Structure 1
Amino acid sequence: MKYLSLRLLVLLGLALACTIGIKAQNIPASSQKIHLDKPFIQEYSVKYTASEDMVLKKAFSDRNGTIQVLEASGLVRTHAGAFLYPGTLIPDRSYLPMEDKVIRDMLTMEGQFVYLDDEAVFSNAWAGSVYLPHELPGATLFESGKGFIFLVSDGSDLHLVGPQGVIWKDNAANSPVLDIKFDPERNVFYILSTNAVSIFSISEQKLSPLTTGEDFTCFEFRQGKDRLAIGTEDGFFEWDLGKNQMWGTKNAALPSPKLTSISEINGLLWFGSDKGAFLQKEDGGFNYYYGQRWVPGEKVVHVSQKGGNEVLLLTEQGLGKLVFTYQTLAEKAAYFDHQVRDRHIRHGFNASLVGMEKGNVDTGRLGDSDNDGLWTSMYLGGEAFRYAETGDAEALQNVRESLDAMERLYTINPVPGFPSRSFERSGYIERLSDPERWQHASDPEWDWKATTSSDEAIGHVFVFGVIAELVDEADIRAKAIRLLDELMQHIVDNDWYLIDYDGEPTTWGRWNPEYVNGFPTMVGDRKLNSSNIVAMLQTAYHFTGKAVYKQKAYDLMENHGYLENLMRPMEEIGKAKEGSDEWAAMLSESWNHSDDEMYFLGYWGLYRYAFTDELKGMYKKAIVDHWEAERPEKDGLWNIFTALVSPENFDLEEAIWYLQEYPLDLINWTVKNSHRQDIVLLEENFRRQTTQKVLPPDELHIRRHNANRFGLDGGRDGNQENSAGDIWLLPYWMGRYLDVISEPLLP
């Protein structure tokens, strides 16, 4: 998608973002936390791949926005390229005479390209008048000073060159020379070698030592700070030029300490390394750009600025152009809405794009899933909140189409009230996921997927309740209530089990007291299944009015301990004691993050449709207790769900951080973080929390809400794109509906 198209989508999104729907609850303004939706900085990358024979060295942009890349055999430039649609690097043939020149180095001066070849420093700017012979045939690098003065080196010799010719010559005090930087405040050059930094005074034409060390690789003069930042094979340090001593201490606690490049952009340091690039923030932390989401290749060889809102990251395999643009959450929602509708709707299901070739979204197919009903429930819930909040006709149509898909999950199989996992046209079972789970429908044109689980069921009940409450269209509301009733009647009639086509309970569709209470109290499934089934029964009673659902719920809570189970504090959940059966031991081996998703989806019906205020107060206590346990993960959806029960006390800032930091690129690239030196690793623990602080979503591989946000490594090498429908749009639109996220504030 071209950037102009993205902006167009954004503007369309703003036009739709007006508040004309129902409101969830009347909470006094004094107690209601709310995020005012102002523009924030959103990053994305446009990538350009290089051919295998290219040896890339530096990348710059001139004042016109033209990008040129220095390659061993000449200059190359960017061709095509847009967000999610990579371009390439091709030979630059802009100036005919340049084809015959052997360009050894380049830089920008006053926003213009300046080149170094074996004869001279020259430029095509300034009407081509800059041509300064340097008398150093083996020249490999140079730096500009004031008034078209340049210091040129071949790695051992130094020549100072100006309009009047070669001004000064000498051997470098330390060699080989790796880089040169100019200090306009002192009118001196700094010369970097592997073990020293020297200083050359233009006025005195004198070369002097500045500092020594080991394994120097790169450096940068910090404009206005009177310091040099010096990179090494193991971190960096800064040198105070005024006091002529180290400033602070050496810092090796970096995402990747083997540094290849340092640049200062807008007062902040950018680093290239053997494993990606990173920006040091004002608080000392880092934004990390590593992997195919941001750059083609691993080793970053050069970093430079392009205009006011772009940064060029040159790797050995190509160029990544980081774009920093301002947008509101509403604009981001508009983009993600387009992403879902454009390539993630399969028969009305919210689906992933799978089988892609190296991140090419045009090569993928819509994949089936064990959880088609669950992922669609979450997307559908988001669209219902959107419709309730905005009255948008497109949102209503999206609700209709996805609810039709949900309905067919029930009608395509022969078991009354039993929801299929998925369905697809016949003849493709062997090519679908889990082919052994598929069954032929009575209609020979279709097949359906069996073995439906409890996470499907709770997702269905959640969204049927949301639609029944919030969508003021009689036919849609009636359909949601009918499906809710059919599902819950099936469960009640079958002694708290989901009964499959073969007459047997499915592996996970079990809420029977004998099964649930057969687990030791510390095994999470005992608490989870109790919480879910009570929520499901309350929801069914609230919308159908059938007394059986209320009676059964109270029977489970009062006579089978389900209220005690669901109220059990999260701190008591852990591994089953030694001697427990294998099933309990397996289920409690570590924290199950899929359970978190089931809990929170159930909390909508547990709290909102509670039979009494007394129960509602108890449920609130249980929900807040769970939220407290989940706070380190900073999951946007869990925080927004908690706003339902505790609007005056939940992590709004962390929810917004999640929504803002989630990448626009939802391709499941392989991501690695376990090598990082800037994170504090924890010992192995039950919750599988690997670090003290969770990393931002755009530094992790793409994951749904049922995955551990502390997982450092993972991904699918770009062969899949996830839908934003469940990952992002549900928490955003729920937040809008619950009045914790405002309408976009226009300038």
Structure 2
Amino acid sequence: MMRFQVKLRLVLMLMTLSSALAVMGQKRADAPIQDKPFIQEYSIKYNYDNSGNELFQAASDRNGYIQVISLHGLLRPRAGEMLFPGTLVKDVQYKPTSDKGIRAVVNYQDQLVYVDDVAVLSNAWAGRLFTRHNLPEARILEAGKDFTFLISDGKKLQLLNMEGSLWEGESADAVNEIAYDAANNQFWILGENSIQVFQPGKNNLKQVLSRPGLTAIEVWKNQLVAGTSDGYFTVDLQSHQAGEMQKNLPWTEITCVKNIDGDLWLGSTWGAFKRNDQGKYDYYASKRWLPSDEVIDIAKGPENSVLILTGKGLGQICRQEMTLYDKAMYFEKQVRERHIRFGFNGTISGMTDGDVTTGSLETSDNDGLWTTMYLAGEVFRYVVTKSDEALQNVRESMDAMERLYSINPVPGFPSRSFERRGYKYHDKPWRRAEDPEWDWKSTTSSDEAIGHIFAFGAIAELVDVPELKDQAIMLIDTLMSHALKHDHYLVDWNGEPTLWGKWTPEYVNARPVGVGDRKINSSNYIGMLQTAYHFTEKEKYKKAAFDLMENHGYLENLMLPMSKIGRAAEDADDWSKMLSESWNHSDDEMYYCGYWGLYRYAFDKELKAKFKEAIVDHWEAERPEKEGLWNIMTALVGKDDYDFDNAAWYLREYPLDMINWTVKNSHRKDIELLPENFREQSTAEVLPPDELRISRHNANRFGLDGGSDGRSEYSAGDIWLLPYWIGRYLGVISEPATK
């Protein structure tokens, strides 16, 4: 039942034991992000077709045995791993219990106690708990102290212990739920329009308040939490005074309230949420977490997990302690098992409902870019750890990158991708290679080029393997010689510049000053020329860069503050208007890939100081997004604190499940929506990564809704491993703490 948890624990144990040997970088005791163990959450889902059978409750005992109460008997989970959901099936493990027609269950002293039409009973304590009752329609059960239990059929109530009945009575209102207050030894009873208190011993039933729309109750931190159809409120356990209604929630139509080990959990008709230490709510919705968003019940699960019962099955939110290094090793495995095609770092697409075995690796316009971001991460991994595996990964991806240049007939031109003939997408950019078995994709753009130069520069500088250094420098020289030969254009098979491969002044400076393309192309291209000069020492690259900076305004362009970037004026050309409709988040990715060469290989100290100013200015503009890669990479320019705590938060909160589930947040009541703006910042505060759709670094982190119903799985290679490993290299992230 817990196969994935066991496998994950074993993997993490092995990784932890080997980390002292495998992690050979500096201790980095002064690193701002100390890699201490944290709690990583993930979900195992057990789907269920509930047509004709209603689900009511979930529970588990000290042995880790999970049961679900349904209209037609007990159910239990079968199979189930993080990426491979299980199902709920009829529980026949112990037929004398499952044949009884169990109506409700409660966890008492870590054991399961049931009520059926005859008795309150349990299989624990050698089966001695079997107390007959007088409510043949009993369907509500709560445990008190010293083996006392209060049951109800929805109207009548009966208090029992091991010896028999202690009290019977009837509620003036319906009885929908019972919660026990251990501190005051009293039961709270939820009706349709009232809350009552029953005190054993005194045996009096007292109404505390009357209010319509009540849906759930639970005792939590010396107060009763009462859910309603529009928020929740609290009631003091002694004074019985009600507090203000709380509506600043992900969703206010509450269906259940539970106290799980001191944490307040609430279920709703649109997902579940947990109150965190900041008084805000961690939101668990979408198929990343639950079989469906209609939450019926929440219960404590085995091994520090939480069970969330929905209309379509059970979600088990598992909580595993790990370090960032452990998480990196998990993602390294994910990439190599499912996301490598010819050495490219790719996406699995065409999946059915999140099943990775139903999808296929796809070719992409950005095979070169996504691969170079993964490749750079593996370079930094190798530099930090001297891992033979990382080095082999670098070799394989470099072979794929080099073939992008050799598979087409245009000297120095990088293809977007290549594929075996007959398996490509049937769109115009595909061309036939000389080899009849292969096709290559044309129309390469500037975002591929800057990714290439970033990774090749990192290899040329940092990898102590001569043939790899030579290969990287050769490819840098090949690409940049092509650009200079063609007057700062990428020129395709037809002798024409590609749509986006244009760094020439005639194109760049045709844009108004505040249009982003003018700044991004200037910044990227100067960085590319600096990288080429740094490693080849060919004067043509230095000469071209200074000509562009001194005679064509490229230095002024790239130094333009981000606050000046905006929409083109009404009298601007249509192309400039199109380019500046809103902030282009792909530009952020291109800028940061380019900053490696722009800052690290600056021609002189004066330029380096200017480039630092431009990079920090960009980071300031990006701070609200809490984008882990941007915060970490800004450390290129020095040791100041570039919101490294937010970078750690980003890395820790990113989900292990990289499935592109459909996620919605725009309905939430706990977010502050902002007016429409150029930066497309939809909310005052960005949501955690595990509450958003899976996206690469070129996406807007303020996008509230999105995803593709589990039809694809993204690679962690560019999304997570690059920020982690460059953080290790730059000394932002320490090596893992020894467990």
TM range (shorter): over 0.9
**Superposed displacement of residue 462, structure 1:** 0.5
Q: Distance in 2 between matches of 1:2 and 1:9?
A: 10
Shift of 1:10: 2.5
Cα deviation for residue 6 of structure 1 reads 2.1
Taking structure 1 as reference, are residues 597 and 120 closer, same or farther at Cα in structure 2, changes over 3 Å only?
same
Q: Which moved further from structure 2: 262-271 or 608-617?
A: 262-271
1:46 aligns with 2:38: no
Alignment counterpart, residue 293 of structure 2, candidates 289, 293, 298: 298
The Cα shift of 1:99 comes to 4.2
Offset of residue 109 of structure 1: 1.1
After superposition, what is the alpha-carbon deviation per residue over 1:93-112, rounded to whole angstroms, capped at 9, x for unaligned? 02222343222111111111
Q: What's the CA shift string for 1:214-261, capped at 9, x where partnerless?
A: 200000012xx32100000011011012222124x2101100110011
**Match of 2:731, SS?**
coil
The answer as to 2:446 corresponding to 1:454 is yes
In 1: Cα distance, 2:230 partner to 2:413 partner: 60
- The structure-2 alpha-carbon separation of the partners of 1:83 and 1:355, relative to structure 1 and needing over 3 Å to count, comes to same
Q: Which residue of 1 aligns with 2:311?
A: 316
Q: 1:479 — aligned with what?
A: 471
> Match of 1:378, as an amino acid?
M
Aligned residue among 502, 512, 515 for 1:520: 512
Among 232, 236, 240, the alignment partner of 1:240 is 236
Q: Does 1:168 align with 2:135?
A: no
Q: Which residue of 1 aligns with 2:62?
A: 63
Is the CA contact 2:412–2:482 (under 8 Å) kept in the aligned structure 1?
Answer: yes
CA-based RMSD: 1.6
C-alpha spacing 1:465/1:681, structure 2 compared with 1 (3 Å): same
Q: 1:419-568 counterparts in 2 under 5 A?
A: 419-429=414-424, 432=425, 435-568=427-560
Offset of 1:3 from its aligned partner?
Answer: 2.4
Query: In the alignment, does 2:241 pair up with 1:252?
Result: no
| Residue identity in the other structure for 1:100 | D
The residue type equivalent to 2:545 in the other structure is: A
CA distance in structure 1 between the partners assigned to 2:381 and 2:693 by the alignment: 27
Tell me the equivalent position of 2:6.
Answer: 4
Contact 2:105 2:115 in 1 (8 A): yes
Provide Cα deviations, 1:654-694, integer angstroms capped at 9, x if missing partner. 11111111000001111110011011010100000000110
Moved more, 204-213 or 366-375: 204-213
- Other-structure match for 1:701: 693
Contact 1:12 1:334 in 2 (8 A): no
Q: In the alignment, does 2:239 pair up with 1:221?
A: no
Amino acid aligned to 1:119? V
Q: Is contact 1:168–1:205 with CA below 8 Å preserved after alignment?
A: yes
**Residue deviations 1:406-461, cap 9 Å, x none?**
000000000000000000000123xx2x6221111010000000000000000001
Q: Does the 8 Å contact 1:189/1:199 carry over to 2?
A: yes
1:182 positional shift: 1.6
Amino acid paired to 1:47: K
In the TM superposition, structure 1's runs of 4+ consecutive aligned residues that sit over 4 Å from their partners are: 16-23
- CA distance change for structure 1 residues 665 and 395 in 2, over 3 Å: closer, same or farther? same
Task: Report if the CA contact (8 A) 1:17-1:390 is conserved.
Answer: no
Residue 735 of structure 2: aligned partner: 743
Aligned partner of residue 436 in structure 1, secondary structure: coil
Judge which range, 414-423 or 315-324, deviates more: 315-324
After TM superposition, the structure 1 = structure 2 runs for residues 333-348 of structure 1, keeping only pairs within 5 Å, are: 333-348=328-343
Q: Tell me by how many angstroms 1:81 deviates.
A: 0.9
1:413 maps to 2:408: yes
Higher mean displacement: 315-324 or 113-122: 113-122
Instruction: Specify the alignment match of 2:32 in structure 1.
Output: 34
Task: Give how far 1:17 is off.
Answer: 6.1
CA contact (8 A) 1:268 1:282 kept: no
Q: Which residue of 2 aligns with 1:402?
A: 397
Match of 1:668 in 2: 660
Give a deviation string over 1:133-154, Cα, whole Å, max 9, x none: 2111222212122232222211
Q: Render the CA deviation track for 1:287-335: whole Å, top value 9, x for unaligned.
A: 1100111110111111111245111111110111111111111100000
CA separation of 1:11 and 1:134: change in aligned 2, threshold 3 A: closer
List runs of 5+ in structure 1 lacking aligned partners: none
Show CA shifts across 1:583-602 (max 9, x none): 10000000000000000100
Structure 1 stretch displaced more, 154-163 or 208-217: 154-163
State the shift of 1:649 in Å.
3.0
What residue in structure 2 maps to residue 144 of structure 1?
A: 143
Match of 2:182 in 1: 184
- The one-letter code matched in structure 2 to 1:640 is I
Matched residue, 1:268: 263
- Report the alpha carbon displacement of residue 508 of structure 1 after superposing the two structures with TM: 0.2
Asked if the contact 2:353–2:711 (Cα under 8 Å) also holds between the matched residues in 1, the reply is yes
Alpha-carbon distance in 1 for matches of 2:596, 2:161: 73
Superimposed CA distance per residue, residues 486-526 of structure 1 (whole angstroms, 9 cap, x where no aligned partner): 00000000011100001111000000101000000010000
Equivalent position of 2:650 in the other structure: 658
- Map of 1:680 onto structure 2: 672
Contact 2:271 2:285 (8 Å CA) reproduced: yes
Q: Normalising by structure 2, what TM-score?
A: 0.97
User: 1:367 maps to which residue?
Assistant: 362
Query: Does the 8 Å contact 2:50/2:311 carry over to 1?
Result: no
* SS class of match (1:481): helix
Structure 2 letter corresponding to 1:493: K
Distance 1:129 1:445 in 2: 74
Q: Does 1:283 align with 2:281?
A: no
Give me the whole-angstrom Cα distance separating, in 2, the residues matched to 1:653 and 1:705. 18
Distance 2:639 2:98 in 1: 66
Q: Is the 8 A contact 1:593 1:707 kept in 2?
A: yes
Give the whole-Å Cα distance in 1 for the aligned partners of 2:726 and 2:400: 22
* Selected match of 1:594 from 570, 586, 593: 586
Please tell me whether the aligned partners of residues 22 and 387 of structure 2 are also in contact (alpha carbons under 8 angstroms): no
Shift of 1:5: 2.5
Give the superposition deviation at 1:646: 2.9
332-341 vs 199-208, which moves further: 199-208
Number of the residue aligned with 1:622:
614
Cα separation, 2, equivalents of 1:180 and 1:204: 18
- 3-state SS in 2 of match to 1:435: coil
